[in-house]
A and B are shown apart, each in its own frame.
Chain A
Amino acid sequence: GQQLNQSPQSMFIQEGEDVSMNCTSSSIFNTWLWYKQDPGEGPVLLIALYKAGELTSNGRLTAQFGITRKDSFLNISASIPSDVGIYFCAGLNYGQNFVFGPGTRLSVLP
């Protein structure tokens, strides 16, 4: 079945640094979503992307729908302690269900 890979698996950064993570697949997707999950809570939707090449921002977060439709990228600028958590990507094809990546665990050091 369809699978998503996320890179890196985990990362430790200094507060104030920018963060980049990506999500790749061997399959094409029509929709990409990015979620953040804090401990003990459900995933919270950050950004939704619907068109190849689309670049969308939400505050300090920017995500892009890869031009090949097989990947997506998430950038966080000027990281702060509350950015700590697990970031999941999810891909969707019409008529099918969302497929989730394994997540990137972000730790921010003060």
Chain B
Amino acid sequence: KAGVTQTPRYLIKTRGQQVTLSCSPISGHRSVSWYQQTPGQGLQFLFEYFSETQRNKGNFPGRFSGRQFSNSRSEMNVSTLELGDSALYLCASSLAGTGEPQHFGDGTRLSIL
């Protein structure tokens, strides 16, 4: 059974640009969550999508947004990139969210120059 797939694995951008990251959940999983991981702040929750609707949101500025498609695939967008956005962005999926264990992809490493 294929795991959570995130593309691209690595991305280099400059300040002010925008970026879109993609996540394909495990087949049958309808909940997709996004996290930002940095050495200083650890794993921080960005948002969760279920059935194409954002169900929960963390404490990140509006420059961070996401969406989910009817096939449960999800994208995350960051606009007006800042140096501090450099991080590993992880996507996790579960059958229906609401307390079920989440299964993570290997992440997209975003570097801002």
Which residues of A pack against B, CB within 8 Å? Answer: 30-31, 33, 35, 40-45, 48, 88, 92, 94-103
Contacts and interface: CB of A to CB of B under 8 A. Distances in A.
Contacts of B102: 33, 45, 98
- The size bracket of the interface on B is 20 to 34
A103 B6 CA distance: 23
B33 A33 contact: no
B56 A48 contact: no
Majority SS at the chain A contact face = loop
B45 A97 contact: yes
Interface stretch (B11-19, B62-70, B78-86, B103-111): B103-111
Contact of B103 (A30, A45, A95): A45
Contact of A30 (B4, B90, B99): B99
Contacts of A98: 33, 45, 102
B90 A42 contact: yes
